[in-house]
Amino acid sequence: MLLSEIYDDVSLEDAPYFSALYGPSRHAIVVPDLSQVTEHLEGLTDCPEDLYLIEGDPQSFDDSVFSVDELEKAVVVKIADRQWRYSRFPEVPLFGRAARESRIESRHAEREVLSERFATLSFDVQKLSVCIRRSAALSAVIWRLRLSLTRKQKSVN
């Protein structure tokens, strides 16, 4: 089972924390026993460059296996004595259906605003085009009148 499936019901507020907690291993596969996986990894080619496997029971997954210090919108995960990982809370968390649905809703709202703005700008462009055409026509009339007046003045002189 994918780790992201285990955290699919995480709340919108908790989604950034769990995304940061797991970092690049957020796409991990949770398996019951890591020792039984090794033989399946030999010669495996149809997989990402880095494949993360986490041992655990998908039905009662325990995320307390990490030593974690929570900071302001970030976590420090102490993987080993000499290996730590610092991860900021992502603006767009990958965990949780609520986070994804919220992102979709905000994108729909953004699209609506942009559609309205586009419609307004299109209307403004049409009005401006009409004004430009009228201005060009008026300029042509004025030019012809000036030309006509200039000719009359020359013929009078």
CB 94 within 8 A of CB 8: no
Return the CATH superfamily for domain 3-95: MukB, hinge domain (3.30.70.3500)
CB 29 within 8 A of CB 1: yes
Residue 10 has pLDDT above 80, yes or no: yes
Strand-pairing partners, residue 55, are 31
Listed by start position, the domains of the chain span 3-95, 99-157
Name residues whose C-beta falls within 8 Å of residue 51's C-beta, 6 or more positions apart in sequence: 29, 41, 44
Joined together, the tokens standing for residue 15 give: 């989604």
* Confidence category of residue 111, pLDDT binned at 50, 70, 90: very high
What average pLDDT does this structure show over 116-124?
95
What average pLDDT does this structure show over 12-28?
89
Please give the pLDDT value at position 137: 92
Higher model confidence: residue 107 or residue 98?
A: 107
Q: What angle (nearest 5°) sits at the alpha carbon of residue 78, between those of residues 59 and 85?
A: 100
* Confidence category of residue 115, pLDDT binned at 50, 70, 90: very high
What average pLDDT does the chain have? 89
Query: What gap in Å lies between CA 49 and CA 30, rounded to an integer?
Result: 18
Residue 113 has pLDDT above 90, yes or no: yes
Segment 34-91, tens digit of pLDDT: 998 988 888 888 888 888 998 888 888 777 777 899 999 999 999 888 999 999 999 8
